[in-house]
Structure formats: C-alpha cells, structure tokens
C-alpha cells in the first residue's frame, strides 16, 4: 500500500483556489496541508495596517470555507514555523507563490536554504504578476525607469501572459491536528473598535467569489466607459479590484484574460486603457524589485535636500478630512469610512499634502498604509514618489493640482463631495467646491458657519503654490 506524499501549500497574497499554481502543484503530489502565517516579525515596519488586517480577517475566512475548513493558521516567524512543521511532520514538499517585497524576498531565500538542509523539496511559482521583474529589461540589461517604454517595448514584447489555471480537480487533505496553530480570532486581526471595522467592511464583499463577481460586473457595466469615466469620482466607472488583486483573491492573469475576452465585443478604448492600468501595477513591482529602497528613500536623490515642513496640526486636519477644501476632505473621509479612495482623488489629496502643505510624502504614505484596504508596498511607494516628483517617471515638480479646479472639473455638481461632506448640501453646486467664497447670507440660509459646521481653509492655495514652486526650483 503506497503512502501519499504530504505537501504544504503556504498561502500568502494568493488567497484563492483558481489560478493558484502552488495549490495545483501540491494537489498533484498527494495530501495537502494548506497554511497561512501572519508574520509580523519579519515584516517589521511593513506589517499590515489596520484596514488591511480587517480585510485579511474576512478573506481568510472565505478561503477557509472554500478549503472545507482545512486552512491552518499560524502567527509568528514564518521561518521558524515552517522549520517546525518540516521537522514534526512527514513533509515531502513545500509550495508557495512568490511575493516581491524586499523583506519577503530576504526571508524566503533563508527558508529555501533551510528546506534544502532538510532535503525537502520546495518550489515557488509566479501567481501575482504578469511579467516578473527580472524578465523585463532594456536592451542594455538595466531596469526601466519610465512606464511607457517599460510597457510598450518591455512587457508587450514578452510572450503573452499565460492562461489562468483551473481549480485543482481533486484535493485530498492532511487531517491530523497541527500543534501551535491558531484560530482566526487568535490572529487578532480586527481592531478593538468594532464599530469602525464593521462600517469599513460593510462597503465590500470579500473573498474569491466576490472578486470574480466584481470583475464580471465591471466588464458588463463599466468597461466601455472606463476611459472617459474613471476620472469622475461620483461615477461607478472603476473596477475597485485593487484590494482583491492585492490579497490575491483574483490574479492579474484572470483579470488580463477576462478583459481580453470582453474587448472582443467592445467598441471602446476602455479595455486597452484598463490593461494599461494593470501594467502600471506591474511597473510598481518592477521598480520595487530593482530599487528595494523605494519605500524609504527618494528615488531621485536630489530630493534628499528638499526642505520639508513639520506641522502635526495641519497633518491631523488632513488625516481627518478637516482641511476646508471639500474635495480633499471628501477623499480623506472616504478613505476612513471605506478603506478606499478614488484614484483621481488620491492624486489630489497627495498633491495637497506634499505641495501645498509641504509635508514629506512619507507622512501621506504612512496614513494610506494604515487606512487602505488595498495598501500595497510597491504601488503605495511608487505612487507617492510620483506625486512628490521624486520618483521614477514622476510628475514634474511644477504640476500642482488645484483642488478647487479639480473638483469643479471632475465633480461639477458636487455629487461625490456630498457623499462625504453632507453638511454642504444646502449650498448651490458652485459654492460646494469653495464654500469660503459663498456670501454670508447664503451660508446662513444653508445653516453653515465656517469654522463650526465646516472648516475654514487651513491654507491659501495661491501662496502655498508659489512657496512650493520656489522650493522645488531651488533643487535645480
């Protein structure tokens, strides 16, 4: 009687059954032990923020249900936990899908050495990117620093992204009790204040099935208007797939080929534009892999000389959505309430913090890291540096978003503003964008006292723009 081989599948940012190469490989070998390890020890400063942890709690619950309750949870140093499992169990192989954060690359390399010392088979797979960072380079072998040639000359010259894998046809489980495992509640992912957590997750459906449903709904209802509508925050014209992609509830291969299928019946530029946005995510990982200091250091080192301000009071007003500029406040309130912010609004609030307030991009990056359900080290770092002008393919230093003009252009009736700043509802649309310009009698009739019912502006847009330009020019 032959004994089935035991394989560990280490779930990470791939919380799905379909198109999961590590799970498929393990299923072909014999019995499967699926595990997840919350490793805050190796993550150190990059341990997940509060919003991401709340999402993870529900995503793990959904994955465990899909795995018929067989997912085994751990908390601690992944290297030590895997070492103990391989020592205590008759493990033949360990499979996982690759991650690209610098701390994970370092830790995983050590784990591979440990497994080799045990003569334990181990394999890692690509499940999170269409083009892995070391496969795309310029003709001279160096990394791309500008998106357009990266995508057009680098990515699109590569073999087409592979087709998604089906779920394993059959899975057999390792059913013995595993010592030192944790319950989902013992992972302690949820914050103490349940009202905030419950409000946050009420805006989302979480898990693999929810990700597939959102992908299908986007293709059916929004894809054709994506290019023209994605800049208007009041419109439902974006996919909102970013947290699902980050946690691996859906793979980029699934999204790429689903959009390709939808493009066959589309007459718009929406599909091509969306695929380009997926490529921007790839570019962020390309940068993080080749320049691992991206989250902590200016990509453009001349910005090390930039004279940033320190102003905790203004930072707190920005974080709370109390700046007195409705589009900025609406964005920060959306972030707090839903764990998400519309992409156009992300650029506006980032420009406001960095260029009008002259606060270091690290301040905004840290707040987003804690509050976003799609907080992603590569995208978060690259995007904040792009807004600051210090990053690769960065926005020019003189590009300073005027929040009033942006609001008037992309939310003309103030529909988005009123979702998160309802105290402005009684004002006519043109004054919703700049209530400080409303006549006193109009403010009285609307029941608004600036500084009481809605904040006074915390800064002068013209003066702070000139101040930022002067400091940026000094770097030249």
The question of whether 343 is a catalytic residue gets the answer: yes
Instruction: Indicate which residue of 280, 300, 423, 436 is catalytic.
Output: 280
- The one catalytic residue in 77, 126, 300, 343 is 343
For residue 101, give both structure tokens.
């954060």
3-state SS, one letter per residue, for 404-467: HHHHHHHCCCCHHHHHHCHHHCCCCHHHHCCHHHCCHHHHHHCCCCECCCECCCCCCHHHHHHH
Angle value at C-alpha 366, between 360 and 370, nearest 5 degrees: 160
Are 54 and 200 within 8 A, CB to CB?
yes
- CB under 8 Å to 362, separation ≥6 — which residues? 384
> What is the residue whose two structure tokens read 């590590």?
22
Which is the catalytic residue, given 46, 103, 196, 308?
308
Cα dihedral 207/213/217/220 (nearest 10):
140
The catalytic residue among 256, 369, 384, 386 is 384
Which one from 83, 277, 408, 423 is the annotated catalytic residue? 277
Distance CA 71, CA 16 (A): 12
For residue 270, give both structure tokens: 């929406």
- The tokens describing 306, both together, are 């930039």
Distance CA(355)–CA(348), nearest Å, equals 10
Active site residue 336: no
Task: Assess whether 300 carries a catalytic annotation.
Answer: no
Asked if 386 is an active-site residue, the reply is no
Q: Is 134 a catalytic residue?
A: no
**Three-point CA angle 279, 349, 356, nearest 5°:** 125
- Spell out the SS3 assignment of 200-259: HHCCCCCCHHHHHHHHHHHHHHCHHHHHHHCCCCCCCCCCCCHHHHHCCCCCHHHHHHHH
Name, in order, each residue with C-beta under 8 angstroms of 398's C-beta and a sequence gap of 6 or more. 469, 472
Identify the active-site residue in 361, 367, 369, 386: 361
CB-neighbour burial class of residue 181 (10 A; exposed 0-12, middle 13-18, buried 19+): middle
- 334 a catalytic residue: no
Q: DSSP assignment of 94-134, as one string? A: EEEE---SHHHHHHHHHHHHHHHHTT-EEEEE--S-SS-GG
Cα 41 vs. chain centroid, distance in angstroms? 21
Cα distances from 9 to residues 17, 67, 256, 466, in angstroms, run 11, 12, 25, 55
Instruction: Give me the active site residues, please.
Output: 277, 280, 308, 343, 361, 384
């Amino acid at each position: 009687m032959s004994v089935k081989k035991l394989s560990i599948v280490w779930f990470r940012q791939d919380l799905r059954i379909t198109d999961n190469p590590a799970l498929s490989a393990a299923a072909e070998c014999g019995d499967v032990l699926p595990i997840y390890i919350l490793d805050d020890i190796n993550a150190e400063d990059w341990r997940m923020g509060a919003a991401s942890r709340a999402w993870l709690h529900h995503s793990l619950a959904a994955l465990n249900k899909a795995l018929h309750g067989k997912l085994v949870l751990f908390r601690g140093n992944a290297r030590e936990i895997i070492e103990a499992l391989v020592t205590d169990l008759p493990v033949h192989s360990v499979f996982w899908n690759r991650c690209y954060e610098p701390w994970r690359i370092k830790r995983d390399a050590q784990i591979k050495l440990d497994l080799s010392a045990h003569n334990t088979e181990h394999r890692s797979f690509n499940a999170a990117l269409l083009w892995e960072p070391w496969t795309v380079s310029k003709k001279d072998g160096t990394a791309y620093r500008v998106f357009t040639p990266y995508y057009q000359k680098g990515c699109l010259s590569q073999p087409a992204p592979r087709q998604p894998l089906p779920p394993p046809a059959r899975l057999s489980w390792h059913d013995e009790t595993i010592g030192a495992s944790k319950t989902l509640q013992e992972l302690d992912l949820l914050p103490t204040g349940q009202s905030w957590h419950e409000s946050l997750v009420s805006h989302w459906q979480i898990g693999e099935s929810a990700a597939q449903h959102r992908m299908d709904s986007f293709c059916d209802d929004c894809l054709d208007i994506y290019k023209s509508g994605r800049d208007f925050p009041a419109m439902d014209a974006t996919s909102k797939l970013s947290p699902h992609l980050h946690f691996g509830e859906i793979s980029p291969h699934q999204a790429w080929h689903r959009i390709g299928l939808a493009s066959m019946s589309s007459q718009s530029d929406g599909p091509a534009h969306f695929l380009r946005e997926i490529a921007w995510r790839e570019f962020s990982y390309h940068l993080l892999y080749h320049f691992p200091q991206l989250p902590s250091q200016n990509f453009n080192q001349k910005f090390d000389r930039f004279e940033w301000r320190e102003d905790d009071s203004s930072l707190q007003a920005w974080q709370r959505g109390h700046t007195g500029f409705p589009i900025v406040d609406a964005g920060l309130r959306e972030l707090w309430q839903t764990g998400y912010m519309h992409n156009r609004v992300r650029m506006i609030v980032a420009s406001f913090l960095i260029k009008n307030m002259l606060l270091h991009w690290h301040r905004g990056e840290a707040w987003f890291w804690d509050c976003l359900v799609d907080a992603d080290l590569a995208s978060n770092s690259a995007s904040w540096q792009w807004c600051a002008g210090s990053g690769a393919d960065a926005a020019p230093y003189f590009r300073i978003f005027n929040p009033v003009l942006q609001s008037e252009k992309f939310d003309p009736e103030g529909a988005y503003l009123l979702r998160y700043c309802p105290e402005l509802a009684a004002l006519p649309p043109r004054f919703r964008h700049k209530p400080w310009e409303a006549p006193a009698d109009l403010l009285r009739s609307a029941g608004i006292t600036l500084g009481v019912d809605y904040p006074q502006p915390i800064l002068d847009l013209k003066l702070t723009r000139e101040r930022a330009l002067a400091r940026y020019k000094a770097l030249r």
